[in-house]
Amino acid sequence: MSVEPTTKPAAAAGTVDLGDLTVNRMGFGAMRITGTGTWGEPADREEAMRVLRRALELGVNLIDTANSYGPEVSENLIAETLHPYPEELVIATKGGLTRPGPGEWRRDTRPEALREALEGSLRRLRLERIDVYQLHTVDPTVPYEESLGALAELQHEGKIRHIGVSNVDARQLAQARSVVDVVSVQNRYNLGDRYSEGVIEVCEREGLAFLPWFPLNVGALASAGGKLAEIAASHGATEAQVALAWLLRRSPVMAPIPGTSSVEHLEEDVGAAALELTDAEFADLSHTSAAQL
């Protein structure tokens, strides 16, 4: 769908708080502005840069990235394209996963590794402080409190404004909150994968933002004649837009961060912020299994 540059459709979804920061609930995940398998440079670097610029034109003011995306490629491209950053733009990045090679992801949340990761992100993003720095994973070889304590120390040094966690269950979230002030949780969540329902309930109760990664699993959900396709057709929308609209309706603390390397797909995703599902449609999707969607 085409959206005129003067409009700000991302704002139609409302806002969510990240500590003392307020962002539009429709964000952008910058994992896919890298090469195949989140490795190396994007196939079309100029298009990736257009995506970033267009995201801001559409009212997106939360960009989520990580040092492991590329690795380093995503952060470098964000800075090259958008620095100096608009005052309202919040950049959230992550540390705790390393990339030994294409298709490989390795956990490393040792305090010294996290410090090195943060310093690298600051340098690549051309920032003196990261707005939201997220612990990317739980590393079974490192006590969780030690990893979080390292972030607390970096926050005390003024290099981190707010701390978020990722890929946690409710118990781990409680553990994290006993060590640091957590403002956000980033877990996998979409119409077909609702494992994190309990974590979302905690976020709602405690006023934490929930950033669902992989918010679109449309390839698996949009079966011909399925409920998702039926609702999309009734709105003149795409299955992806309906899936995102469902997420936005699911919880007021939800801030989806769909990612793409295409301006066309970006405009489609952000356009979902203006799509309003009826109560019946939301209930149908909420109570329909992934196999029936």
Alpha helices (H) along 58-110? 73-82
58 within 8 A of 10, measured Cβ to Cβ = yes
Length of the chain measured in residues: 293
- Sign of the CA dihedral running 123, 125, 129, 131: negative
Instruction: Using the CB atoms, write b or e for 129-138: b if 16+ within 10 Å.
Output: ebbbbbbbbb
The C-alpha angle with vertex 265 and arms to 184 and 236, in degrees rounded to 5, equals 100
Which residues are tagged catalytic? 69
What is the Cα–Cα distance from 191 to 69, expressed in whole angstroms? 25
Measured from the Cβ of residue 98, the count of other Cβ atoms closer than 10 Å reads 16
Peptide bond into 258 cis (omega under 30): no
What is the Cα–Cα distance from 12 to 293, expressed in whole angstroms? 26
